[in-house]
Amino acid sequence: MSTTIEIICIGNELLIGKIKDTNAFFLAKKATLLGANVKRVTVVQDIIPEIANTIRESIARKPKFIITTGGLGPTFDDKTLQGLGKAIGQELEINPEALAMVKQKCVDYAKKRGFVADIEMTSPRVKMATLPKQTKLVNNPIGTAPGVRFDVQETVLFILPGVPVEMEAIFSETIAPLIKQAVGDKVFCERSLFVDNIFESHLAPLIDQVMSSNLGVYVKSHPIRTKNNPHMELHLTITASKDQNPEEKLLKAAKELTDLIKENDGLITKEF
């Protein structure tokens, strides 16, 4: 079975187009390269019931990992922890370890910039250390707000900050090793063919033929806009255990597709 992952990105700024959702792109890319199967990406508003319902629905599908980003900061619109608490039926409480971590981060930040290091733990700062009961703290090596982990049955749920550098650091330090452990010896392989002089509609049956004779290989066509001749990238991928020789399977499929394209007067301009 594949190691499945669902990603939930939280924030009004994503839904109104103020900020591009680079977090989902990063997580999907990294998880796929590790050999996992990203099944779903969802974006929701900073509304507690929306967050809670989305997390519940994701848990019900029983992926191996759920990763959320956004909504862990000190401001009024950071509501992810409240949504998580509602989703898993846990009240929020001040986590002493998280509180100490937040305070130390604030002290370090002040010292680095020459400010007074006697930090007052204001309610917005305490808010970042107020977590649902029975959740575990996840170290944030860069920012102030800690991440959160909650295990439910066979699913591991990670709640990460929305600031990209913080999210990426936590993922690399804490989550990526767990994904790799769950994936085992499965690897992701990819190969691209760049094709001229053949339309996508003519390629469609050739792609179907190759996918039918090479089970496990997925071929996606990506048209590239040009002024004259049709030009596109054909992206071939496979995720399989090493003993199934996925690279060899991919090469075989690529060769079959190349031969079919040439037979239909197409031109392979580049491959890698």
pLDDT tens series, the chain, 272 aa: 799 999 999 999 999 999 999 999 999 999 999 999 999 999 999 999 999 999 999 999 999 999 999 999 999 999 999 999 999 999 999 999 999 999 999 888 888 877 766 778 999 999 999 999 999 999 999 999 999 999 999 999 999 999 999 999 999 999 999 999 999 999 999 999 999 999 999 999 999 999 999 999 999 999 987 666 779 999 999 999 999 999 999 999 999 999 999 999 999 999 88
Amino acid at 185: D
> What is the predicted pLDDT for the residue at 117?
65
The pLDDT value given to residue 174? 98
d(CA 150, CA 139) in angstroms, rounded, equals: 14
Looking at residue 229, its pLDDT comes to 74
DSSP string over 125-166 = HHHTTEEETT-EEE--SSSSSPEEEEEETTEEEEEE-SSHHH
Query: Does residue 251 contact residue 189 with C-beta atoms inside 8 Å?
Result: no
Question: The whole model's pTM is what?
Answer: 0.94
pLDDT (0 to 100) of residue 115: 76
Domains and CATH numbers, the chain: 4-183 (3.40.980.10), 186-271 (3.30.70.1130)
Q: What is the pLDDT of residue 110?
A: 84
Task: Check residue 234 and give its pLDDT.
Answer: 98
In whole angstroms, give the CA distance from residue 10 to residue 21.
Answer: 10
Question: How far are the Cα atoms of 38, 144, 233 from residue 46, in angstroms, in the given order?
Answer: 23, 20, 38
- Locus of tokens 């170290």: 139
**Environment class of 60 (CB within 10 Å of its CB; exposed 0-12, middle 13-18, buried 19+):** exposed
